[in-house]
Chain A
Amino acid sequence: MRGDPEAFGSLIDRHGLAARRAARAILRDEDDADDAVQEGMLAAWRAIERFDPARPFRPWLMRIVVNAALDARRRSKVRAAEPVAETLESGALGPDRMAEASLLRTRIDAGLAELPERQRIALVLFDAEGWGHADIAATLGVPEGTVRSYVFHARRAMRKSLGTLAEGMK
């Protein structure tokens, strides 16, 4: 892996999209998030010699990406946040369902926007990526119990934001 771009490329294949989702949860701006992920991946590539193979790679990489996204967020705080581009597949839906899907996107965005940063990251890594509490704790640099608390509060807030709307999408 060290110094081997092909090996690192396979790691990008494995973790790149999870990193993108985490960055978009932090930044909520498509271009800024993609730039932050790229910046984080390059930082990881440069720092790969310092990675301790005895430790898990995924939290190490994600921590770098998350930090890059948080730095980008600090830099762009003066700019107004643009809405996340619409990505849900809605072409096959009728007008009612499209309106419902649009409302769902709005609710998800609103729900995520209301969450504190770390709760948002924990929720995305836990529910969207299926990470365990330990890896999330290592990524965020907090105890596992804190991660459980983050997920608990984030889910409660998202449930409030989504209401019964998500069930209509099944």
Chain B
Amino acid sequence: MTMSPFDNQPDPELGRLLRERLTGPAPEAFLRRLKGAVAAERADQWDVLAGWARPRVLAAAIAAGFLLWLGAWFGVMSRTSEPGVTMASSLPAQAVVSAQPPAVDEIMLALREREPR
């Protein structure tokens, strides 16, 4: 053994002795154990992620459904507030429900009542 404390290079003989002493039995089995532990950890992580995601996906779907319904409702509301419809809603009821078309005077009267004074 050429072990000098001043040597700046690894001592191969001391290195060999230390490796033999410290490597331990069944090195291949030990490496398999480590890889198995990592694989098991990864499976656990997916389980946790799936457990976390399931209720949140459901909540997101409910929220999306609610938003869609809200959007549709606003769409309907904005259509009902179009000028023509508003005008019709301000006509006298008998003009709307009557089988006969309303007289021009009635329509003009209704429009004049809607104008700001």
Residue ranges of A at the interface with B (Cβ–Cβ < 8 Å): 5, 8-9, 12-13, 16-17, 20-21, 24-25, 30, 33-34, 37-38, 41-42, 45-46, 84-85, 87-89, 104-105, 108-109, 112, 123-124, 126-130, 151-153, 155-156, 158-159, 162, 166-167, 169-170
Contacts and interface: CB of A to CB of B under 8 A. Distances in A.
A13 B5 CA distance: 31
Contact of A21 (B5, B19, B34, B37): B19
Contacts of A87: 20-21, 23-25
Given A41-B34, A124-B18, A127-B14, 18 more contacts: A9-B38, A17-B27, A17-B30, A20-B30, A25-B22, A30-B25, A33-B24, A34-B30, A37-B30, A41-B37, A45-B38, A46-B41, A84-B22, A105-B21, A155-B4, A155-B5, A155-B14, A158-B3
Nearest to A159: B3
B34 to A, nearest CB: 5
Contacts, number: 117
B35 interface: yes
Interface centre among B1, B4, B14, B18 (most CB of A within 10 A): B18
Q: Is the interface of A mostly helix, strand, loop or mixed?
A: helix
Contact of A158 (B14, B22, B31): B14
Interface of B: 1, 3-7, 10-11, 13-15, 17-25, 27, 30-31, 33-35, 37-39, 41-42
Interface centre among A37, A38, A128 (most CB of B within 10 A): A128
